[in-house]
Amino acid sequence: MLLIKGRTAEASVAIKVGRSILDHALEHQIDVAFSCTRGTCARCRCFIAAGMDYLSPPSDAEYDRMDEEEIAQGYRLGCQAIVRENGEIKAMNKPYF
């Protein structure tokens, strides 16, 4: 199960392996900040409160947009964080602006 907390609401959704956190949010009409869907704007920045092990490793785009300390603290870009296996994941949209 994937719990996504958007700007105004949150929802638990069934996981689709191979899809990003942002893909899940958009499919279920969860209001999250985003602009580009490819890792250049960083508006889809999320804090992963649980389930980091079920996500793909951070991408080059994430290292280009965030510093290593943010990534170590549990922040990911929703468009780059791909679910790689089923498990309990909790993601909270935390854009910079």
Whether 22 and 42 have beta carbons less than 8 Å apart is answered as: no
In a domain, 73, yes or no: yes
4 residue type, one letter: I
Q: 96: pLDDT confidence band, cut at 50, 70 and 90? A: confident
In a domain, 52, yes or no: yes
Question: pTM above 0.85?
Answer: yes
R_g (Cα) of the chain, nearest Å = 12
Mean pLDDT of the chain: 96
Distance from first CA to last CA of the chain, Å, rounded? 28
DSSP letters of 18-59? T-BHHHHHHHTT-----S-SSSSS-TTEEEEEE-GGGBPPPP
In a domain, 97, yes or no: no
In a domain, 80, yes or no: yes
The span from the CA of 92 to the CA of 47, in Å, is: 5
- In the predicted model, what is the mean pLDDT of residues 62-78? 97
pLDDT of residue 33: 95
